[in-house]
Amino acid sequence: MSLVLLGLCHGYHSNQRTVGQNQFTDHLILVEVEDLNQFGIPEVKTVQVKLSKAQMDGGFNNLWNQHKGKTVAVPVFVSPWASKAGNAGHDLRLAGDGKPLNIQAIKPVAAAS
């Protein structure tokens, strides 16, 4: 089962990072979402969704760049992690077939009086 992020797509982005002597390249989809802060006030933030090597080999970076500037529904799953240094966190990873979900907004119907 996966979760769905609904927001504005900012397309593909790669990020280089170094851990010890090793260098890694993270392949990401950036999605702008609205979330409530600790005071219940809406805030806009950009969330990164990681792509796997298989998804990169399948050209999903190009697929998501085609949706840049559009509202998208991104299927994700949560991947928790822990480091040897005692840190912990989670990453969001692209789930399912890796394509945007087709979700249609439905206008609410007025209640009968």
Q: Is pLDDT above 70 for 99?
A: yes
What is the residue range of 28's domain? 3-94
- Tally of domains within the chain: 1
For residue 69, give the amino acid letter.
G
Q: In whole angstroms, give the CA distance from residue 96 to residue 83.
A: 27
CATH number for the domain spanning 62: value is 2.40.50
Does residue 106 lie in a domain region? no
Q: Give 15-58 pLDDT, tens digit per residue.
A: 999 988 999 999 999 999 999 999 999 999 999 999 999 999 99
Total-model pTM: 0.81
With CA atoms as reference, report the closest residue to 74 among 20, 23, 17, 10. 10
